[in-house]
């Protein structure tokens, strides 16, 4: 039998129990065919772990809290997370982002995270033709700009953008290494569709699979906003060898019910990802109030983005956190 680390053994048992309970011997109809299905379900449940294990640099070695800090290559790594309010002017938003990246780099940051879709307002609270805002990866002015900046400052930059690929549109991210090289593309896998967050109107579900990029600062796992609500995202990234996980986000009030405040829930979920996988987590969120154009009738014609960007350690503790309202750079070594 495969010798799994203790944590994965528990997970495998849980999967097996869940699947076999559907076809247990206590069932009124225990026929040869049902016993066959029972056996097959046990194999399939254990096999669910194997594709992820095959991507891990040490698939049979458990990650422990005491060993984790040495896993970040033994190099000095300083993380920075930013947050700011966006305006209707893309050039102004890019200028703010660049200013914050430069300031973070001047303070010694090696990995700097900007928020989701920072080039524009969060257009997904409306349903109309914003598809002209999307650009392909090739010859993309935004990406070229931040590739040059990453190289100039010798920093790692994950950059979120609205991607056009043929007839498809994606909520995407590329990672630039400290030499400006584009290490690859990730397309957001989980797409929300709720009042004020009509992302399924604009984005197809990602087709890249989850990605871990080997950067000069370590192995960087990336996901985007809504991905963070799904524990399998972080688990798969950790199994693929991620030494840190970043979530650029755009989340705030709920236009159908302004009394709902999801900030605490949003934060605790990502703290859980860090603790469960022994990996530091970074989250960058925008701030400010962004008005809807009124194409969809909602109780509140605006979203108040609640910032609260943060960095955890590998045990899920919040090391530093920004406020809900202020433009901020936070750094952690």
Residues belonging to the active site: 116, 188, 225
DSSP letters spanning 204-226: PPP-S--EEEEETTEEEEE--GG
With contact defined as beta carbons under 8 Å apart, do 246 and 236 qualify? no
Task: Look at residues 111, 121, 82, 115 and name the one whose alpha carbon lies nearest to residue 99.
Answer: 82
User: To which residue do tokens 């979530």 refer?
Assistant: 247
Task: Give the Cα separation of 294 and 204 in Å (integer).
Answer: 24
DSSP annotation of 156: B
Round to the nearest angstrom and report the end-to-end CA distance of the chain. 41
Structural tokens at position 246: 């970043």
Where does the chain have alpha helices with state H? Answer: 6-20, 32-47, 50-53, 68-71, 90-106, 141-153, 231-239, 263-277
> Alpha-carbon torsion 57, 61, 64, 69, what sign?
negative
Q: Which helix (H) or strand (E) holds 179?
A: none
**Residues 6 or more apart from 205 whose CB is under 8 A from it?**
188, 189, 190, 191
Backbone angles phi, psi at 330, to 5 degrees: -115, 145
Q: Is 142 helix (H, G, I), strand (E, B) or coil?
A: helix
Task: Give the Cα separation of 249 and 318 in Å (integer).
Answer: 17
Task: Give the Cα separation of 147 and 144 in Å (integer).
Answer: 5
User: To which residue do tokens 């984005």 refer?
Assistant: 203
Question: What is the DSSP pairing of strand 244-248 with strand 218-222?
Answer: parallel
User: Which residues sit opposite 248 in a β-bridge?
Assistant: 284
């Amino acid at each position: 039998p495969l010798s799994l680390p203790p944590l994965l053994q528990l997970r495998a048992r849980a999967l097996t129990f869940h699947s076999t309970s559907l076809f247990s011997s206590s069932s009124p109809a225990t026929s040869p065919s049902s016993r066959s299905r029972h056996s097959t379900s046990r194999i399939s449940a254990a096999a669910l772990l194997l594709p992820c294990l095959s991507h891990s640099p040490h698939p049979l070695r458990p990650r422990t809290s005491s060993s984790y800090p040495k896993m970040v290559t033994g190099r000095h790594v300083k993380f920075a997370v930013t947050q700011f309010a966006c305006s209707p002017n893309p050039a102004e938003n890019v200028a703010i982002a660049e200013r914050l990246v430069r300031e973070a780099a001047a303070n010694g940051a090696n990995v700097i995270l900007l928020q989701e879709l920072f080039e524009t307002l969060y257009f997904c609270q409306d349903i109309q033709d914003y598809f002209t805002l999307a650009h392909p990866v090739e010859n993309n002015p935004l990406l070229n700009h931040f590739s040059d900046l990453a190289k100039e400052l010798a920093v790692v930059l994950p950059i979120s953008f609205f991607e056009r690929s043929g007839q498809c549109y994606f909520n995407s991210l590329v990672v630039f290494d400290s030499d400006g090289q584009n290490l690859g593309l990730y397309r957001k896998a989980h797409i929300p569709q709720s009042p004020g967050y009509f992302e399924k109107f604009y984005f197809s579900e990602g087709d890249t699979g989850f990605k871990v990029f080997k950067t000069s600062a370590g192995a960087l796992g990336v996901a985007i906003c809504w991905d963070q609500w799904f524990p399998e995202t972080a688990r798969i990234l950790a199994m693929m060898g991620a030494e840190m996980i970043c979530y650029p986000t755009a989340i705030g009030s709920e236009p159908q019910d302004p009394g709902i405040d999801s900030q605490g829930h949003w934060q605790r979920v990502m703290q859980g990802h860090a603790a469960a996988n022994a990996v530091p987590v970074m989250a960058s969120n925008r701030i400010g109030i962004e008005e809807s154009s009124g194409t969809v009738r909602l109780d509140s014609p605006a979203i108040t983005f609640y910032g609260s960007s943060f960095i955890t350690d590998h045990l899920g503790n919040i090391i530093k956190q920004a406020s809900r309202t202020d433009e901020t750079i936070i750094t952690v070594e």
